Amino acid sequence: MFSKAFTDVCKPSYLGIIGELKRSGGLAIPELAKILEMSYMGVKQHCVNLEKLGYLKVWRVPRVQVGRPQKLYKLTVQCDPLFPDGGGALILDLLEGVKSSFGEVAPEKLLYHYFEKERDEWLNVVRPGKSLVEKATRFADARVKSGHFCHCRYSAEDGFVIEEYHHPLHKIFQAYPKLVLMETRMIEQALGTRVERTEKKGSQGVKCTVYRVSTLG
């Protein structure tokens, strides 16, 4: 059964708006219209509808120059079911139980086996790719299907990168920071190349994890 949040916003235009607001942290209607290649009035009506449904809220930002405050739209907590956390609270409780029973390093050993399994699944996904770019793109698509929120982009300056704005195991990573390196190494093994993982913040304070895929051919 689909969640209420999904059935409320299943229109492609609604999902497009929510996706851009998740990435940016907040945008004005003209910016959304330009990014989504839609009319100003069309985007405005969609945002008004999503606000009435409780998925968006208005955020007014003072302008640098003289004028009325800029009106931005942001996501509300009602959008959270669209970006699942992978049962973080339950997993943390279970890991604490494992630590109490089997020692301090037991949770990380258990999670290491989890990421080994993930790597093997990623290998099956990327194997049909004819090039490293295709393999990395297939990997990113698999991440989206498993509850991550990410997309690929290429530029002459940065090369091929995967930008990720939501990770279902974020709470687990906060409690066990060594998992960051562990997962990155598994991604490298799956893609067969070096992957540099960094974090950045957008203009509205949105955290983004960047995976820079090296040695593209």
pLDDT at position 216: 55
> For residues 40 and 43, what is the distance between their CA atoms, to the nearest angstrom?
5
Contacts of the segment 142-151: beta carbons below 8 A, 24+ positions apart: 147/83, 147/84, 147/86, 149/19, 149/22, 149/83, 151/23
pLDDT at position 113: 92
pLDDT at position 1: 41
Per-residue pLDDT tens digits for 113-144: 999 999 999 999 999 999 998 999 999 999 98
Per-residue pLDDT tens digits for 16-60: 999 899 988 889 999 999 999 999 999 999 999 999 999 999 988
Q: Judge whether residue 5 has pLDDT over 70.
A: no
Mean pLDDT of the chain: 87
Q: Mean pLDDT over residues 182-187, rounded?
A: 95
Q: Where are the alpha helices (DSSP H) in the chain?
A: 4-8, 12-24, 29-36, 40-53, 88-102, 106-126, 132-145, 170-175, 178-191
128, 200, 130, 124: which is closest to 162 by C-alpha? Answer: 200
pLDDT at position 82: 82
pLDDT at position 11: 82
Q: Mean pLDDT over residues 81-85, rounded?
A: 79
Which amino acid is located at 50 in the chain?
A: L
**Which domains occur in the chain, in start order?**
4-82 (1.10.10.10), 88-213 (3.30.1380)
109, 121, 122: which is closest to 179 by C-alpha? Answer: 109
pLDDT at position 94: 87
> For residues 91 and 169, what is the distance between their CA atoms, to the nearest angstrom?
9
pTM of the complete model: 0.76
Q: Judge whether residue 2 has pLDDT over 50.
A: no
Please report, rounded to a whole number, the percentage of residues in the chain having pLDDT higher than 70. Answer: 89
At 7, is the pLDDT very low, low, confident or very high (cuts 50, 70, 90)? low
> For residues 182 and 205, what is the distance between their CA atoms, to the nearest angstrom?
26
At 163, is the pLDDT very low, low, confident or very high (cuts 50, 70, 90)? very high
> For residues 89 and 115, what is the distance between their CA atoms, to the nearest angstrom?
19
Segment holding 150, helix H or strand E? strand 149-155
| 7 or 149, higher pLDDT | 149
